[in-house]
Structure formats: structure tokens, C-alpha cells
């Protein structure tokens, strides 16, 4: 390993040691003495193993394992970022990347196009959802990981990339010459009116451009109608940049409102962030939709809206990530992302769920018990609790899907059938509904695909048989169990009938998304979205809305 690389890596180790030991509260002189001793011991162990171990050791992989091992004693958000991972950091911080405008996923072990971004090279030149990538620039990618293929496809804007793809209904592979372009990250994936006066914005991430995207979405709504209520959908939004969360919050909160504050070990980590602009949405009901997938920056926005009583929160409890990370550059292509502070909502609560500063006897991190959570108050004196994420003002559980649905999703049956449907039908009726003949065709398709599914009752019966055998039950029990097994087979044969409504909805969403566009695909989910329906009714019913936000006199 080159001396420069070693120096960089060991400086990274030094940083990690400072972070690890710093939590203990060691006097500064002793701290640096312990750091120096630790680096000395680490260096000797590293050199001894790489030089004298019985098998050849890759020095770079070995040092990486050492760094990762140390960081695993902290929280999962403090990580070393190597050259390969750096692209994802750049994507969030810059809000753009060089690519051809596709989203890829793994289907039956093959790298498959699962979405296209309209207006960019892949869509313009005829790549289709469902296409399977065989080669990138002459290199076969069958058996490669998603990350390996992603690295091959992405690159500097203006450069070319050749792809060979396989497509259902086409006998021979198809060659494409595509141009990489600067692809903006899509933060807002839907904007429009759900019904007269009720605007809807779905925000899926908080990259560098999210504030501008939300501003554009609100302008679009105002330009196309009179907005009397707004729903901001943050479900499954994993978050992003803290300052962008403040920027998004500023679109709804009164100017100069405290949005979030941070506190850390170092004094420079203690900061307060205020909304810095006049709100774009004033004096109209606002509902924020959240679920367990809403985390980090999503929780900052949600917590601020709730604490300042600017709107109602609908859905299920959020993820509970109340930690702030800072990215420090270690070299030209490596960085260290370190948790440097906790953040607090305007009422003063931290919504962090897991306590990473302690471990149980089993080595697990505990969560904060409900009985230990402190109580805080919103602007209207409503009670809110710390820890465990943000609890909605109106809790609406998410729809629980059947095991059949989960198995069909896991084995990509909806996706594959939509590919075949699109190959056989060049146009789609408007409005499109999944009629009985489509459902019957899907059932035939499942048989062709040799789709296998075990009912939960089958699994329970199998467990019951095993328990009965261990307990030496008589033959009569097993005769009855066999009768039950036969009945289950009968019910399995009519599974599409039993789950007709669920299957129609899923097929419609997948087929419309394949043959129209992402916006049309999202619209197919509105009818069956109970949480969204409740949010719409709340912003329409001003009395119910005001009743939720009415607190007690202070």
C-alpha cells in the first residue's frame, strides 16, 4: 500500500478513535495520550497481520474491516464512505447525477429496468420498463450486483454508454447507444388536485433541490386552481439534508419560526434553525401524511408542523431518527459521516427512538420505554412526547396485505405480468379497469410461471402435525388433519377469487404504470388509500381540523 494511502487511512482511524473515546469524558491530556497509544497498537497489529499472516491479506480490505469494526460500536449512521459509496452522498448533496434516466432492480437474478425518467436518453431512445440488461459497454452484467451495474451505467454527462438488452416478445437482444445526461433527483414525484380545492404534493426525499421543487409544486397548484387545503405526503421519505428540511418547512410555517435546534458535544454543534421566508401556504388547512418509513428530515418537517400547530399529522408513527450527521472529507475520494448532534423539535423534544449510547446484556441497543418519555407542549398547549418518532394527531393504520400479495410482490409476478400485458396490448382503454378476463389471464400466467404459494393455514397445519407427532397423537387426529389439508387445497384453488379486490388494484397500478407514466400510476392508488382519504376529509372539514389543533389554555 502506498505511504500516502496509509497516511490517509490512519488519519481516518485517528478521527474514529477521537469519536469513540470522546464519549467517555476523558481529560484532554489523557485523551490524546490514549489516542496515540491506540494508533500505535493498531498500526503494529495491522502491519504484523498483513506481513506475517499465513494467507495473503489484502491491505486495503483489511484496513477497511478495521475501520468498519470500530464504527459498528457506535450508531449505524456513523460510517466510512469509500470511493464507491461517494456517488450516493454526491447525489443527495448535489441533487443530480450523470446517467441515462433509468431505475434498475433485480428480477429473477437479472438486472431489470423498473422505471424510466421521462425526457432523458433511455426513454427517448426506446428503452422500456421490464427490459433486462445483458451488457454495458461490452461487459456482461448477468450475475453482477445492482451497485456494480449502477456504477457502469452512471458517468460524466455528455459521455456515451452502450447497452445490450433482452425484451419480452423480441427474439434477439437489442443494442442501444445512449447519452449520459445530468439527471436531477426527483424529490417531488406527484403534484396535483385530488378534488376541487384540495392540493396534494408527494415529497419522496430531501436532496439539495427539494426546497425549490416544493416551491415549484405549490406555484403549480396555485396557478391551476384555488387551493383551499393541502396534503403533504412524506410517507416512506427517508430524509436527507437538515437545512433543506428547514427550507421545506419554511413554505408552511410563519416567518422566523423556530424549526429545529441541534445539540452536540462540541459547542459549534449547538444551533437553532429558523424559517427564513414568508410562507407560501397561509391560513389554509394542512395535513402531513407519515408512516414508519418517514425518517430524519421528514420528521423535522413533521415535528415542526405539529409543535407549531400549523397542521394535522395523519398516518402512523414515524421512524424515530433524531440524530444529525456531518460529512468530513478524509481524502479526494473518501469521507467519514459522523453523528455529531441530536436534533430537537420546536417544543424541545428529541424524537430519537433507539439509545445507541447503551447496550443490553445481549449486546442490543434499547429503545426508550413509554413510561420514561418526557412530556412536551405544542404552541396550543397540546401534549406531545419525546422518543419513538412523531406520533400522528390522527392515527390511521396502514393496510395489511395478505401473505399471497407479499409472495406475488416478492417474486415480481405483477411486474412480469405487466410486461406481458404491455407486449400484447399497444394501447390502454381510458378509463382502464382490471376486468374478469384480465384476472383470469393473470391466473393462467401464474400457472405458466409455476408460481408457488403457501397459505398461512398450511404453515400452521404443518407445525400442528409436527407437534402432534412429537406428542404421539393417534391416527384419528392425522386423518382429520389430512381432511383439513384437502380443504386448504380447495381454498388455494380459488385464491384469485378470495383476493379479487386486492389483485385488481395491484394489477391496475402496475399495468397503468407500465403503459402510461409514473403520475398515472400514482393516481391509481388514491381510491384505496385510506390514510389519504382521512387526510382529505380533515382538511375539508374545518371544524374537525380546528378541534384537533385546539389545545388547552396555558
Query: What are the catalytic residues?
Result: 296, 307, 321
Closest to 330 measured CA to CA, from 3, 48, 10: 10
Return d(Cα 97, Cα 100) in angstroms, integer: 10
Burial of 320 (0-12, 13-18, 19+ CB in 10 A): buried
SS3 content of the chain, % helix, strand, coil (to 5): 40, 20, 40
Grid cell listed for 538: 380533515
Return d(Cα 449, Cα 504) in angstroms, integer: 19
Return d(Cα 149, Cα 192) in angstroms, integer: 35
User: In sequence order, what are the residues at sequence separation of 6 or more whose Cβ sits closer than 8 angstroms to the Cβ of residue 536?
Assistant: 194, 195, 198, 229, 231, 287
The alpha-helical segments, DSSP class H, found in 411-499 are 413-424, 436-448, 456-470, 475-493, 495-498
Return d(Cα 143, Cα 131) in angstroms, integer: 16
Closest to 214 measured CA to CA, from 240, 191, 184: 191
Widest CA span of the chain, in angstroms? 78
User: In sequence order, what are the residues at sequence separation of 6 or more whose Cβ sits closer than 8 angstroms to the Cβ of residue 89?
Assistant: 81, 327, 335, 337
Closest to 120 measured CA to CA, from 204, 191, 180: 180
Q: Look-up: residue for cell 469524558?
A: 25
**Degrees (nearest 5) of the Cα angle 29, 30, 35?**
100
Residue 436 C-alpha from the chain's centroid? 34
Q: Look-up: residue for cell 499465513?
A: 54
**Could you tell me if 437 and 450 are in contact, meaning their C-beta atoms sit under 8 angstroms apart?**
no
The alpha-helical segments, DSSP class H, found in 198-280 are 210-224, 242-249
User: In sequence order, what are the residues at sequence separation of 6 or more whose Cβ sits closer than 8 angstroms to the Cβ of residue 320?
Assistant: 295, 299, 351, 352, 353, 354, 387, 388, 389
Grid cell listed for 34: 490514549
Amino acid at each position: 500500500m502506498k505511504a500516502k494511502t496509509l497516511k490517509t487511512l490512519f488519519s481516518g482511524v485517528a478521527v474514529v478513535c477521537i469519536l469513540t473515546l470522546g464519549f467517555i469524558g476523558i481529560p484532554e491530556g489523557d485523551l490524546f495520550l490514549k489516542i496515540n497509544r491506540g494508533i500505535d497498537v493498531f498500526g503494529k497489529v495491522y502491519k504484523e497481520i498483513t506481513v506475517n499472516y499465513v494467507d495473503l491479506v489484502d491491505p486495503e480490505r483489511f484496513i477497511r474491516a478495521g475501520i468498519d469494526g470500530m464504527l459498528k460500536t457506535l450508531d449505524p449512521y456513523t460510517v466510512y464512505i469509500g470511493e464507491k459509496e461517494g456517488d450516493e452522498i454526491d447525489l443527495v448533496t448535489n441533487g443530480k447525477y450523470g446517467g441515462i434516466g433509468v431505475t434498475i432492480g433485480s428480477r429473477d437474478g437479472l438486472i431489470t429496468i423498473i422505471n424510466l425518467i421521462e425526457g432523458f436518453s433511455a426513454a427517448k431512445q426506446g428503452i422500456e420498463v421490464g427490459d433486462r440488461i445483458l451488457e454495458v459497454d461490452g461487459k456482461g452484467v448477468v450475475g453482477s450486483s445492482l451497485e456494480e451495474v449502477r456504477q457502469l451505467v452512471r458517468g460524466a454527462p455528455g459521455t456515451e454508454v452502450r447497452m445490450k438488452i433482452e425484451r419480452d416478445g423480441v427474439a434477439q437482444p437489442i443494442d442501444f447507444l445512449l447519452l449520459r445526461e445530468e439527471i436531477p433527483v426527483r424529490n417531488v414525484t406527484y403534484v396535483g388536485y385530488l378534488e376541487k380545492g384540495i392540493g396534494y404534493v408527494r415529497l419522496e426525499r430531501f436532496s439539495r433541490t427539494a426546497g425549490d421543487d416544493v416551491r415549484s409544486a405549490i406555484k403549480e397548484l396555485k396557478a391551476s386552481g384555488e387551493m383551499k387545503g393541502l396534503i403533504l405526503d412524506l410517507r416512506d421519505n427517508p430524509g436527507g439534508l437538515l437545512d433543506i428540511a428547514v427550507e421545506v418547512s419554511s413554505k408552511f410555517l410563519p416567518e422566523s419560526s423556530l424549526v429545529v435546534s441541534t445539540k452536540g458535544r462540541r459547542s459549534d454543534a449547538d444551533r437553532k434553525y429558523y424559517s427564513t421566508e414568508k410562507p407560501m401556504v397561509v391560513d389554509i388547512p394542512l395535513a402531513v401524511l407519515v408512516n414508519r418509513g418517514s425518517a430524519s428530515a421528514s420528521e423535522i418537517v413533521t415535528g415542526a408542523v405539529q409543535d407549531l400547530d400549523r397542521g394535522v399529522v395523519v398516518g402512523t408513527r414515524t421512524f424515530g431518527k433524531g440524530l444529525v450527521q456531518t460529512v468530513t472529507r478524509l481524502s479526494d475520494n473518501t469521507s467519514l459521516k459522523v453523528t455529531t448532534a441530536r436534533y430537537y423539535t420546536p417544543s424541545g423534544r428529541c424524537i430519537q427512538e433507539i439509545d445507541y449510547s447503551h447496550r443490553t446484556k445481549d449486546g442490543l441497543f434499547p429503545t426508550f420505554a413509554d413510561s420514561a418519555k418526557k412530556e412536551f407542549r405544542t404552541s396550543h398547549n397540546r401534549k406531545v412526547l419525546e422518543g419513538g418518532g412523531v406520533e400522528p394527531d390522527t392515527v390511521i393504520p396502514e393496510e395489511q396485505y395478505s401473505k399471497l400479495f407479499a409472495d406475488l410482490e416478492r417474486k415480481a409476478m405483477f411486474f412480469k405480468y405487466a410486461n406481458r400485458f404491455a407486449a400484447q396490448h399497444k394501447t390502454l382503454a381510458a378509463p382502464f379497469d382490471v376486468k374478469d378476463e384480465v384476472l383470469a389471464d393473470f391466473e393462467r400466467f401464474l400457472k405458466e410461471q409455476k408460481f408457488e404459494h403457501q397459505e398461512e393455514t398450511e404453515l400452521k397445519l404443518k407445525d400442528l402435525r409436527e407437534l402432534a407427532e412429537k406428542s404421539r397423537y393417534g391416527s384419528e387426529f392425522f386423518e382429520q388433519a389430512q381432511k383439513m389439508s384437502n380443504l386448504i387445497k380447495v381454498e388455494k384453488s380459488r385464491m384469485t377469487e378470495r383476493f379479487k379486490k386486492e389483485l385488481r388494484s395491484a394489477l391496475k397500478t402496475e399495468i397503468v404504470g407500465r403503459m402510461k407514466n409514473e403520475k398515472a400510476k400514482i393516481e391509481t392508488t388514491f381510491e384505496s388509500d385510506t390514510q389519504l382519504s382521512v387526510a382529505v376529509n380533515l382538511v375539508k372539514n374545518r371544524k374537525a381540523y380546528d378541534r384537533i389543533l385546539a389545545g388547552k389554555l396555558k
